[in-house]
Amino acid sequence: MSVSVLMYHQIGKFSPMKSHRSTYCHVKRFNVQMWYLNFFKYKIIKLDDVVEYLKKDKPLPKRAVVLTFDDGYKNFLEYAYPILKKYNFHAIVYLLSNLIGNKAIWFKKDNRDTPPLLSFDEVCFLKKQGIDFGSHGRNHRKLAEIPLSLAKEEIELSKKELEELFGFEFKHFCYPYGSLNKKVKTLVKNAGYVSGVSCFRGAVYRGCDLYEIPRKAISYGDNIVGFFWKLEVKNRLKRQ
Ligand SMILES: [Zn+2]
């Protein structure tokens, strides 16, 4: 029994780009991908179900898929959400507590435009519609490469800030850039999160570390064949 946790970042109308392709998905392709999951009767489950499976061996449905969206871009509301709603699909979006209603300012170092992030009201609206939210830290830092005290702040304080701001629990964590090590994982666990999703690739199988959940990045270049390939074939764990 396995589950594919798909990783998306921005959904929208983008002209072909040369770099960071794995963080963009054209809305036309996203629409076809969601149609595909629905047509072939994949079961879109919650990350909570994966946690129950890994912790308590609670069975998963066949063809289980989790949809994750990193960074909390405003284009999630504009482009991804209407399509998810059409199929009644679950999704989890990872937010940065210090950048709610702000922009993806960490893009500046690559000289990229800084797309807007979801506002407080937009997150509240989406939560009411059944979208789940997790923490992605405070400022999008590489947690394994900064002082541990700062990593602790990113992990613990983001949970506190998000919960105080929105008034609901943030149980799941997502490591920015997939940057993690043993100490960072322990901080995430001790902060009270029940899971940590990484950028390691592959499917989730029994025995998988709850704080090192692998995902499958759906890239700008993935047509429907590529999507099928990632979904059904690329299951072996790759840490690089
Ligand atoms: Zn991110």
What does the pLDDT look like over 32-47, one tens digit per residue?
999 999 999 999 999 9
Q: Give the span between the Cα atoms of 140 and 138, in whole angstroms.
A: 6
Ligand 1 centroid to Cα of residue 9, in Å, is: 8
Does the pLDDT at position 237 exceed 90?
A: no
Ligand 1 centroid to Cα of residue 71, in Å, is: 5
Its CATH architecture, for the domain 2-232, is Alpha-Beta Barrel (3.20)
Measured in degrees and rounded to the nearest 5, phi and psi for residue 155 equal -80, -50
Q: Give the span between the Cα atoms of 108 and 105, in whole angstroms.
A: 6
In sequence order, what are the residues at sequence separation of 6 or more whose Cβ sits closer than 8 angstroms to the Cβ of residue 65? Answer: 3, 4, 5, 6, 37, 42, 43, 44, 45, 231
What does the pLDDT look like over 130-171, one tens digit per residue?
999 999 999 999 999 999 999 999 999 999 999 999 999 999
Ligand 1 centroid to Cα of residue 172, in Å, is: 14
Is pTM beyond 0.85? Reply is: yes
What does the pLDDT look like over 216-227, one tens digit per residue?
999 988 999 999
The alpha carbons of the chain give a radius of gyration, in whole angstroms, of 17
pLDDT band for 240, please (50, 70, 90 cuts).
Answer: low
Q: Give the span between the Cα atoms of 169 and 225, in whole angstroms.
A: 37
